Amino acid sequence: MRQPYVAWLLAALCCGGTLLAEGPAEARRVALVIGNADYKVGPLQNPVNDATSVAKAFEAMRFDKVLLRQNLGMEGFRAALIDMSREAANADLGVVYFAGHGVEVGGRNYLIPVDAALARQGDLDLQAIALDTVIAQLAGVTNLKLVILDACRSNVFPLAGSTRSIGRGLSPVIPEDNTLVVYASKDGTTAEDGTGRQHSPFTEALLKHIGTPNVEVRLLFGLVRDDVMELTRHDAQPQQPYLYGTLGGRTHYLQPVDPGNDTPEAQRLREQERELARALAATKAAQEQRREIERRLETERKAKARVIEEAKRGQPATRPAINGTAAAAAPAGATCSDVRELCTQECTSKGTLFSQCDNSCRARFRACLRTGSFSHGLNKQ
């Protein structure tokens, strides 16, 4: 029986999607991991612990480059993004993980350096980093761009004199070009820091699943979501992580299975991938066949409509000839329908029952629509 995640991927990709093999073993994977906790306003407990553990997880997954940065002020934050932009150039996978404060004002999201005061509205553009800016630093990534934000905290910054709406948590985003943005909590809601725990609920769940081999990235974060909601189920509003992105039909893995690993589990995972590839190939072939039949039916419909229109205007009907070889008795320019009628007439003239003739000629008519060639079977009844 097909495993649940294979069925889920098939449902997600069957409508015109394609499955491409995962990137080559030498494809570069890079990550920038930031943990900001020592804020002047609203210090947090766990972001440094969270970031340190996430960075170790990426290193254990053999990422080519992991940049770990802690308690960044504005200048340090900008420098880290510059470093990441350089590392991301031509990388197959680029990840930015941020744990700390984030705010949304007027529908725009900002990540907050530890030295930000944000006493006035105008301080945002000078003391905070727009989420758009962070995403832009992954422009050089060739496959999957991933931004993970454990930053949906309650807003502790007053922003005096602000004329823009200040929301709870972060606002939704619509990233483009194979980019996935993950919020620790759905837009408009806040996420727990994990007071009294080693990690926040979101990062605890992330660390549990992130190193699992051969789990497609959308399913991986689905598992994280389920665990976070279980960890926070006793809250008035359980925390629900959320994904925002524009991924196509290609599958993406943070930790692909090692092709040289011949353990039973690795063999099972590879067989699931092959099964999914076969199912998608069959689906694509069926879709192509259906589209071809629809194109031929549309061509036939237009030809008939043109004949009717010319007849209404009192002009001689000019009908395009069917492709391929028609029966010798078919007049030039005959359509599939015309030759079907000739087939039926000739068949019944020989004394064959009409129902038998109709069945035989109808089968050839359908073949004509598929192939553009019609032989009505003169002297073959």
pLDDT surpassing 50 at residue 18:
no
What average pLDDT does this structure show over 256-271?
64
- Split at pLDDT 50, 70, 90, the class of 3 is very low
Average pLDDT over residues 335-356: 75
Per-residue tokens: 70: 């802690």
Q: Are 31 and 55 in contact (CB under 8 A)?
A: yes
Percent of the chain with pLDDT over 70: 76
272's tokens: 């699931």
- Is the pLDDT score of 162 beyond 50? no
**Tokens encoding 22:** 């995962």
Q: What angle do the packed helices 217-231 and 201-209 form, to 10 degrees?
A: 140
278: which 2 tokens? Answer: 């076969």
Alpha-carbon distance 323 to 339, whole Å? 12
Q: pLDDT value at position 277? A: 74
Provide the pLDDT for residue 367: 76
Q: What's the mean pLDDT in 205-222?
A: 92
What mean pLDDT comes out for the span 367-371?
Answer: 74
Residue 118 in contact with residue 67, Cβ under 8 Å? no
Q: How confident is the model at residue 51 (pLDDT cuts 50, 70, 90)?
A: very high
Residues in the chain: 381
Q: Is the pLDDT of residue 195 over 90?
A: no
pLDDT on residue 329: 52
Domain boundaries along the sequence of the chain: 23-255, 321-381
Please give the average per-residue pLDDT across 190-215, as a whole number: 86
pLDDT over 50 at 357, yes or no: yes
Predicted confidence at residue 143, as pLDDT, reads 93
Q: What's the whole-number mean pLDDT along residues 10-21?
A: 42
250-262 average pLDDT score: 73
Q: Give yes or no for a contact between 134 and 111, defined as CB atoms under 8 angstroms apart.
A: yes
Mean pLDDT value across the chain? 78
- Check residues 283 and 217 and name the one with the higher pLDDT: 217
Q: What angle do CA 2, 231, 224 make, to 5 degrees?
A: 40
* pLDDT: which is higher, 157 or 113: 113
**Contact 369/299 with Cβ under 8 angstroms?**
no
Show the tokens assigned to 68: 């770990």
Q: Give residue 248's pLDDT band: very low, low, confident or very high (50, 70, 90).
A: confident
Q: What is the pLDDT of residue 155?
A: 64
Q: What is the 3-state secondary structure (H, E, C) of the chain?
A: CCCHHHHHHHHHHCCCCCCCCCCCCCCCEEEEEEECCCCCCCCCCCHHHHHHHHHHHHHHCCCCEEEEEECCCHHHHHHHHHHHHHHHCCCCEEEEEEECCEEEECCEEEECCCCCCCCECCHHHHHCEEHHHHHHCCCCCCCEEEEEEECCCCCCCCCECCCCCEECCCCCCCCCCCEEEEECCCCCCCCCCCCCCCCCHHHHHHHHHCCCCCCEHHHHHHHHHHHHHHHCCCCCCCCCCEEEECCCCCCCECCCCCCCCCCHHHHHHHHHHHHHHHHHHHHHHHHHHHHHHHHHHHHHHHHHHHHHHHHHCCCCCCCCCCCCCCCCCCCCCCCHHHHHHHHHHHHHHCCCCHHHHHHHHHHHHHHHHHHCCCCCCCCCC
**Arithmetic mean of pLDDT, 273-295:** 80
Type of residue numbered 77: F
- Confidence class for position 258, pLDDT limits 50, 70, 90: low
> Is the pLDDT reported for residue 328 higher than 60?
no
Q: Average pLDDT of 8-31?
A: 53
What pLDDT is recorded for position 52?
96
Residue 331 has pLDDT above 90, yes or no: no
Q: Which of 33-42, 154-163, 246-255 has the highest mean pLDDT?
A: 33-42
Reading the block at residue 235, the tokens are: 């809250």
What would be the CATH architecture of the domain defined by 23-255? 3-Layer(aba) Sandwich (3.40)
Is residue 113 over pLDDT 50?
yes
Query: Are 206 and 146 spatial neighbours (Cβ–Cβ below 8 Å)?
Result: no
Asked which of 108-112, 200-204, 290-294 is least confident by mean pLDDT, the reply is: 290-294
Q: Which of 76-80, 210-214, 261-265 has the lowest mean pLDDT?
A: 261-265
Burial tier of 377 (Cβ tally within 10 Å: 0-12, 13-18, 19+): middle
Lowest-confidence pick of 52-56, 210-214, 370-374: 370-374
